[in-house]
């Protein structure tokens, strides 16, 4: 059975995991989404054409009749969906452009936007992750348009993901954009790779959190949780 080393320190591997274990246990190998150096040499049109051909082969191997009226257009539809929709967050050209505004209201308490619905896909099985993100920040002198918070969540969600990475990527983007450590991200999501296959547990959800700066205290965490739960 193939194994891969996923963590090293001073040239020595800390632990080697079976490739299947990485997927089944939802481990991830780093903060950045794993991308090839030449990931953007191919145009989106070329990518869609290539994906359509390859997906046709998958359907053919599964024994599906591609001459059927209902299935003929499926490879093209899947290719378009992959490139333009559910994996569009892989392309940095789709990163939301964010404008900051002076905090003229002098509002110096936490701002919370909760229940941001997102759809992502598990990078281990390419099946959906469906959840809600809750975001909070405290202004360092600038504020961001509320819709941009949603767009940042959607951008990082629209790629093959692991929930822990998604949480940290959103948090790091907010810290960079807002120029503050005072951000918090909470994600509560359902993984169809858990509910529809494998253990087939349809009731569990996964919660991941990031508390930075002033949010990383018991009192602020409790205050934030109170806002989210009410």
Residue numbering of the annotated binding site: 122, 125, 193
User: Beta 111-122 vs 160-161: how paired, if at all?
Assistant: parallel
* 122 in active site: yes
Nearest to 128 by CA among 87, 164, 96, 89: 87
| Residue 26 appears among annotated catalytic residues | no
191 as an active site residue: the answer is yes
Count the residues in the chain.
230
Measure the CA dihedral 169/33/195/136, to 10°: 10
Among residues 161, 163, 169, 173, which one is catalytic? Answer: 163
Binding site per annotation, positions for Zn(2+) = 122, 125, 193
Q: How many whole angstroms separate alpha carbon 190 and alpha carbon 202?
A: 9
Active site residue: 113, 124, 154, 214, which one? Answer: 124
Question: Nearest-CA neighbor of 4 among 65, 14, 145, 222?
Answer: 14
Give catalytic status of residue 163 as yes or no: yes
161 is catalytic: no
Which residues are annotated as catalytic?
Answer: 122-125, 163, 191, 193
């Amino acid at each position: 059975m193939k194994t891969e080393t996923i963590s090293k320190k001073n040239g020595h591997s800390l632990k080697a995991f079976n490739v299947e274990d990485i997927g089944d246990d939802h481990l991830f190998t780093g903060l950045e989404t794993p991308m090839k150096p030449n990931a953007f040499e191919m145009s989106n049109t070329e990518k869609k054409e290539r994906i359509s051909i390859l997906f046709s082969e998958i359907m053919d191997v599964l024994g599906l009749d591609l001459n059927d009226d209902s299935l003929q257009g499926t490879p093209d539809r899947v290719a378009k969906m992959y490139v333009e929709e559910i994996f569009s967050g892989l392309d940095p050209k789709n990163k939301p452009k964010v404008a900051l505004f002076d905090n003229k209201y002098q509002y110096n308490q936490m701002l919370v936007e909760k229940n941001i619905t997102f759809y992502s896909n598990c990078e281990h099985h390419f099946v959906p992750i469906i959840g809600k993100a809750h975001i909070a920040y405290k202004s360092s002198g600038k504020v961001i348009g509320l819709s941009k918070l949603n767009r940042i969540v959607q951008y990082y969600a629209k790629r093959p993901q692991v929930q822990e990475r998604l949480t940290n990527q959103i948090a790091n983007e907010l810290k960079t954009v807002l120029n503050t450590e005072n951000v918090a991200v909470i994600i509560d999501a359902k993984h169809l790779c858990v509910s529809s296959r494998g253990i087939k547990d349809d009731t569990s959800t996964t919660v991941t959190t990031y508390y930075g700066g002033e949010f990383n205290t018991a009192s602020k965490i409790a205050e934030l949780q109170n806002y989210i739960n009410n």
